[in-house]
Amino acid sequence: MAKQHISFSLNGQQVDALVEPRELLVHTIRETLSLTGTHIGCETSHCGVCTVDLDGVSVKACTVLAMQANGSEVMTVEGLADADGLHAVQQAFIEEHGLQCGFCTPGMLVRAYRFLRDNPNPTDEEIRWGMSGNLCRCTGYQNIIKAVHSAAQKLQQA
Amino acid sequence: MAARAEDINREDALQGIGCSRKRKEDPRFVQGKGNYVDDIKLPGMLFADLVRSPYPHARVKSINKEKALALPGVHAVLTAEDLKPLNLHWMPTLAGDVQAVLADEKVHMQYQEVAVVIADDRYIAADAVDLVEVEYEPLPVLVDAHKALDPDAPILREDLQDKDNVGQGPRRHPNHIFTWEVGDKEATTRAFDTAEVTVKEEMYYPRVHPSPLETCGCVASFDKVNEHLTVYITSQAPHVVRTVVTLISGIPESKVRIVSPDIGGGFGNKVGVYPGYVTAIVASIVLGRPVKWVEDRMEHLSTTAWARDYWMTGELAADKDGRVKGLRVNVLADHGAFNSHAQPTKWPAGFFSIVTSSYDIPAAQVKVDGVYTNKSPGGVAYRCSFRVTEAIYLIERMMDVLAQKLGIDKAEIRRRNFVKPEQFPYKTALDWELDSGDYHTALDKVLAAVDYQGLRKEQEEKRAKGELMGIGLVTFTEIVGAGPSKSCDILGVGMFDSAEIRVHPTGSVMARMGTITQGQGHQTTYAQIIASELGLSSDQIQIEEGDTDTAPYGLGTYGSRSTPVGGAATAVAARKIRAKAQKIAAHLLEVDENDVEWDIDRFKVKGVPGQEKTMKEIAWAAYNNVPEGMEMGLEAVDYYDPPNFTYPFGTYLCVVDIDKYTGQTHVRRFYALDDCGTRINPMIIDGQIHGGLNEGFAVAMGQELPYDAEGNLLGNTFMDYFIPTFVETPHWETDYTVTPSPHHPLGAKGVAESPHVGSIPCFTAAIVDAFAHLGVTHMDMPHSAYRVWQKLHELGLDKHS
């Protein structure tokens, strides 16, 4: 299959890649562009460990074609921290013990980042619904909810 | 008081045992810098993908590789015929059986591995899988375990037909694996013959899958020049894998390096060795290039280790006051096509005989029959220590059944049967020695915390109005920390575990263990143990696990054995170092060894203030100024063979409200009190409990891997297989008591599995309790809305009156 040229912004940097039309965005990010923070868990969009931010919307990169990202802005977990250090959601997950094996964590964080942009002051119930596209087997979710709350407060103060 | 405050500061600075230290693992995980198997990319790496059988039982008539090999980018297609000359077409299981690596003339289950394709990338490999042409001749299928031993049942394992023993005792039918019997049959029969009351209940514990979010996979890399094999693998037991690889390949263990990097959850699923691993290893040896194999979710749910699938019959004999006199249990265990359940080798039903749990039951008898069926192989310890989940489910259900029959309150009947604090150490009727416990205190604390009497009153009022509210109560005792080598081994290797600690001249520490973390936070908690034992700050202590080239041999992490065994090894190794440090301190202070005493982070001369040497000073001296005749350096190794298991326990209470028109269950409250002995990191303990409760919730409320009559697996995607999301998951309340283990160096017992073991029967108990006033004594899992509605419908409760 002839490869196609695509170009998009990944964590603020313009990147180029040659991809087969059938190639999934998650594989391009992980294997061609070597950012392995975005994981693969189910390949059917259920688990959310591959969640990335695509033009301001959370998407599951295991069911997005790389070509669909052409010309767009993509952010992965590697793009959360900046020169000032960890993003508030990253810090809150550490403080509130919101992770264990760490496999769902990148997707959780990228989703929490977008969720808090859309809803800066959520209730418990809103967090549960807003994050429900991301599965976790280790934490029982409770400390993730605490972490999202705590990050919301920090971001509000900032 | 100033001195005291200073002591407290010194102690706090160590961040040792008992503090909720933030995890050392987290900074890399939150930045996407974890290193999981699928993240590993080696130069020249190829991808493996497996051709799997659509049939659950069939002869493989022919395999045509031509079209697949003709596809550009395909390097090889291997079948059992190709593995035969290497004697790698079958592999040993951890349970004494063998399992086909690639189907040898016959398939025994749907999705069984038939051929492996090696290609440049995963897309080409997947294309090539579809091009491999396999001709099958379907055979009659055996799905129902109850029919496995019928005289006319289809014979599954023709390879074993002449064997009257497949590693776990005599067998009486070609589909029979073992019969395991324990207990005093005579005494139990007597108890039943003379009982004032007996109860009996049949229950099925469905087949469920641990399903960590990372599937299984490996990267195998064989260096042809040095004949050295490296395998990065999703394994909870890398050292055992190394031994297995040597046993099947003949490559010396010294030339095999197994690395478990970061692991995305295990829960018992990643203990065994799977055909995919072996095919990647063989392919790397054959092609001389690194080969990656990572399964997808459907392959994971369809072929890797599941748990349970126990058909259980429980019977209790008791007096009219509810005091249990005898327990009898019969189990039919469906092990699937190969006996590859990962239990200690001599324990075909794991530690199922912990079934007497927290109760003083004078006579008990257990019989378990294991059989083959045309289903995927398994029966592993899913977040439990070897069939403990099944055992606790059975006894907790039976205590409720007895309570209902006698009209005794469910808390009261437990109180009457508890082993009393003064009875410890307590020898159970099935020969376990419970190390310590205080069950009454735990129960009372929970009942008070939730206002149990108030809940019962509310339930009564609701029942009067026709509403369904249930209260589930479970008081369990686990058995973890496998285990004493006199009773436990895997493939002949005793189930000890190990720690190797080195103190560097400047007082920082490198420590390596034979266990491997999969989210439990070992890099955090082992450092806390060493910090408290050696008086060096945990921030200066580096923990490494999972690389067999550097870590000491250990049996790995499952069955809640890391703290009971690995944690004990860590404490003992640290104490060896402290004993040496004491001699060095005495030498530096020019006093007798017995004249110095330990104080948080230093040795002091007894009764002489100011005369002291900190551990940091001692570490420096260990490399330049040691007593005459002492060797330099400050390090120690310990291989800890535990004298006994540890027995954590807990009391769980669950309150549910059931919608009688839809069968929807709302978990209003879940209160979990755990006693895991000494608590090393309370934050991590709470996290482990939340996770275990959630996995228990999943099992009780929705998980199962059902097969249709033709042996097709129904429900092997996340669309069908229930993983609770944020929305369904209840809120968890946790509590604790502390009853240290008398034989563990730190008094710690292990915790991560208790919430799974204890919560599952608690959910069932709550749901059944909602129907108890209508004469319902048991309902099988999963308690999905549909299944609960079926009961409502059967009882006519779903009609508007």
CA angle, B10 then B12 then B18, to 5° = 135
Which amino acids of B are annotated catalytic?
236, 383-384, 753
Q: Report the C-alpha gap between B362 and A43 in whole angstroms.
A: 53
CA B324 to chain centre: 30
Domain that holds residue B579: 2-34+497-640
Asked whether the beta carbons of residue B38 and residue A36 sit closer than 8 angstroms, the reply is yes
How close does chain B come to A151, measured CA to CA in Å? 14
Q: What pLDDT, in 10s, does the model give residues A91-122? A: 999 999 999 999 999 999 999 999 999 999 99
**Tens digits of per-residue pLDDT, B129-140?**
999 999 999 999
Q: What is the pLDDT of residue B3?
A: 65
Please say whether the dihedral angle defined by the alpha carbons of residues A66, A70, A72 and A78, taken in this order, is positive or negative: positive
Domain end point (choices A28, A44, A78): A78
Mutate to test the interface with B, among A80, A137, A146 (most CBs of B within 10 A): A137
The confidence band for B491, taking pLDDT boundaries of 50, 70 and 90, is confident
Can you tell me which residue has the tokens 């509310």?
Answer: B458
First to last CA, chain B: 72
> Chains A, B: CB contacts under 8 A, how many?
172
Interchain pair B732, A38: CB under 8 A: no
Do B769 and B631 share a domain, yes or no?
Answer: no
| Residue B678 resides in a domain | yes
Range of lowest pLDDT (B313-317, B487-491, B687-691): B487-491
Sequence-ordered list of residues with C-beta below 8 angstroms from that of B749, at least 6 positions apart, any chain: B435, B480, B481, B563, B564, B646, B647, B648, B675, B676, B677, B678, B740, B741
Say if residue A74 is in the same domain as residue A47. yes
* Chain B residues within an 8 Å CB radius of A81: 31
Inter-chain residue contact A49 with B213, CB threshold 8 Å:
yes
Determine the Cα–Cα distance for residues B292 and B50; give it in Å rounded to an integer: 12
Report whether pLDDT(B144) > 90.
Answer: yes
Residue A1: the pLDDT is 67
Domain boundary among B591, B607, B640: B640
Q: Is residue B763 part of a domain?
A: yes
Residue-level pLDDT at B222: 98
User: Per-residue DSSP letters for B301-364?
Assistant: HHHS--EEEEEEEEEEEE-TT--EEEEEEEEEEE--SS----S-TT-TTTTGGGGGTTB--SEE
Answer whether residue B132 is part of any domain.
yes
Cα–Cα distance for residue pair B761/B755, rounded to 1 Å: 11
Residue B747, pLDDT score: 98
The number of distinct structural domains making up chain A is 2
Quick one: which H or E segment has residue B690?
helix B682-701
Asked if residue B701 has pLDDT above 70, the reply is: yes
Q: Decide if A47 and B262 are in contact by the 8 Å CB cutoff.
A: no
| Residues A57, A8 within the same domain | yes
In a domain, B445, yes or no: yes
Cβ neighbours of residue B82 closer than 8 Å, sequence gap 6 or more = none
How many CB atoms sit inside 10 A of residue B335's CB?
24
Same domain, A70 and A92: no
- State how far the Cα of B615 lies from the Cα of B574, in Å rounded to an integer: 12
Q: Could you tell me if residue A57 is inside a domain?
A: yes
Q: Encode B520-565 in three state secondary structure.
A: CCHHHHHHHHHHHHHCCCHHHEEEEECECCCCCCCCCCCCCCHHHH
B311 falls in which pLDDT band (50, 70, 90)?
Answer: very high
Position B171 confidence tier, pLDDT thresholds 50, 70, 90: very high
- Confidence (pLDDT) at B1: 46
Q: Which residues contact B797 (CB under 8 A, 6 or more apart)?
A: B466, B468, B660, B774
Domain boundary among A57, A78, A99: A78
A31 and A56, same domain (yes or no): yes
Last residue within a domain, chosen from B640, B674, B690: B640
Residue of chain B minimizing CA distance to A145: B726
Residue B490, in any domain of the structure: no
Residues B105 and B46 in one domain: yes
CB contact under 8 A, B687 and A100: yes
* Domain shared by A70 and A108, yes or no: no
- How much is the pLDDT for B801? 64
Whether B630 and B678 map to the same domain: the answer is: no
SS3 B771: helix
pLDDT in tens, B661-698: 999 999 999 999 999 999 999 999 999 999 999 999 99
Choose among B17, B326, B41: nearest CA to B191.
B326
Which CATH number is B567's domain given? 3.30.365.10
Query: Same structural domain for residues A97 and A71?
Result: no
Judge whether B313 lies within some domain.
no
Assess whether A39 and A102 both reside in one domain. no
A10-56 residue pLDDT tens: 999 999 999 999 999 999 999 999 999 999 999 999 999 999 999 99
Q: State chain B's mean pLDDT as an integer.
A: 96
* Vertex B776 angle, CA B775 and B777, to 5°: 110
Facing A103 at nearest CB: one of B265, B694, B727 = B265
In A, minimum Cα distance to B29 occurs at A102
Same domain for B630 and B502: yes
B401 token code pair:
């059944």
Q: Is the pLDDT of residue B32 over 60?
A: yes
Residue B167 backbone phi and psi in degrees, to 5: 95, -10
Distance, CA of B103 to CA of B134 (rounded, Å): 11
Look up residue A64 and give its two tokens.
Answer: 């997005």
Is residue A40 in some structural domain? yes
Whether residue A152 is found in the same domain as residue A102 = yes
Evaluate if residue B651 carries a pLDDT over 90. Answer: yes
Side by side, the strands of the sheet bearing B197-208 are: B176-183, B363-371, B324-334, B307-318, B197-208
Of the candidates B788, B789, B792, B764, the one whose C-alpha atom is nearest the C-alpha of residue B778 is B764
Single residue among A30, A49, A78 that ends a domain in this structure? A78
Chain B residues near residue A135 by CB distance under 8 angstroms: 213, 718, 723, 725
Residues A72, A93 share a domain: no
CB B596 within 8 A of CB B537: no
What pLDDT, in 10s, does the model give residues B334-390? 999 999 887 887 899 999 999 999 999 999 999 999 999 999 999 999 998 899 999
Q: Side by side, which strands form the sheet with A13-19?
A: A13-19, A4-10, A73-75, A51-54, A57-60
Q: Could B34 and A102 be called an inter-chain contact, meaning their C-beta atoms sit closer than 8 Å?
A: yes
Same domain, residue pair B621 and B716: no
Count of structural domains, chain B: 3
- Using CA coordinates, name the residue in chain A closest to B216: A41
Whichever domain contains A44, its CATH number is 3.10.20.30
Q: Provide the residue range defining the domain that includes A31.
A: 4-78
Q: What is the mean pLDDT of chain A?
A: 97
Largest Cα–Cα distance in chain A? 52
| ipTM of the prediction greater than 0.85, yes or no | yes
CATH number of residue B43's parent domain: 3.90.1170.50
